Amino acid sequence: MSVDSWAPLLTIVASLLLVLTSALNFSVFLRQLRASREQLETARRQLEEARQGPEILLVQRAMSETSDHLKILIDKAYLRPYFYENKEWTEGDKTSHDEVRAMAELILNNYASAIIHSAAFPQYPVRSVEQTIRFHLRHSPAIRDFLLDGFEHYQLAGLALLCLKNDTKEGAEQDLVRLIQSAANDPRERLRRERLLQYLKSTNEADVVELAKFSLTATDDYPIVTAPR
């Protein structure tokens, strides 16, 4: 058979090989494209998880800060009435006054931390724990007394805690008036409380987050400021 007679056959074979090679290359391309898409999707999920990570941690912290005391109350159920039923400690109770105050301090410190976090981090879910804080402040004489007795220790969260303690803004203002009078021997603390009272009177709504933000930025070196109308 002459070379000329083989030429068409070789052309067909070469064409088939070219088609086969192209198909294989296309298959490899599709696999690479699929792998690239999977990598992009993985990267997107990781980025989303990284973005949500701090928010998740803040949610977990919020739940922890407002529920840590429950572990103690489970073991010491006799303390519950002092924080859920408006029970005041009296001489002869099963527990000591110091133990009730220590529990009140623990709960109040956790709530103060939650409020401070709400002012510093917009993602902090203070709205989900605000009602819990309000409930305990209004159902526990021990917590209320500890807040008023040690108000100077709650420089950042004290104003917000006072507003959660009261049914009305006017009630918080009355508390501040009494706190100002009790700080007569401490001019610096008295000035701070007067500043808080003036700010509270100037704002239309006693919003917990806004009150906490004001306390974060207000210092003794700042002039007295008022809330925007």
Residues 30-84: tens digit of each pLDDT: 676 676 666 656 555 555 544 545 555 555 555 566 667 778 888 899 999 999 9
Q: What percent of the chain has pLDDT over 70?
A: 65
Which stretch of 6-10, 120-124, 170-174 has the lowest confidence by average pLDDT? 6-10
Q: What is the pLDDT of residue 223?
A: 45
* 160-181 pLDDT tens trace: 999 999 999 899 999 999 999 9
More confident residue, 24 or 76: 76
Per the model's pLDDT, the better-predicted residue between 113 and 146 turns out to be 146
Q: What's the confidence (pLDDT) of residue 196?
A: 92
Residue 94 has pLDDT above 50, yes or no: yes
pLDDT at 185: 92
Asked if residues 197 and 221 have their Cβ atoms less than 8 Å apart, the reply is no
Q: How many CB atoms lie within 10 A of CB 112?
A: 22
Lowest mean pLDDT among 188-192, 209-213, 225-229: 225-229
Q: How many CA atoms lie within 13 A of 214 on its CB side?
A: 25
Average pLDDT score, the chain = 78
Q: Tell the residue number behind the tokens 């690479």, with chain if given.
A: 32
Tokens representing residue 81 in the block? 């009435």
**Separation of first and last alpha carbons in the chain:** 103
Report pTM: 0.68
Look at 93-102, 111-120, 190-199 and tell me which has the smallest mean pLDDT: 111-120
The residue type of 140 is S
Per-residue pLDDT averaged across 127-150, rounded?
90
Given a cut of 80, whether residue 150 has pLDDT beyond it is yes
| Confidence label for 221 from pLDDT (cuts 50, 70 and 90) | very low
Return the pLDDT at 121: 75
pLDDT of 39 reads 60
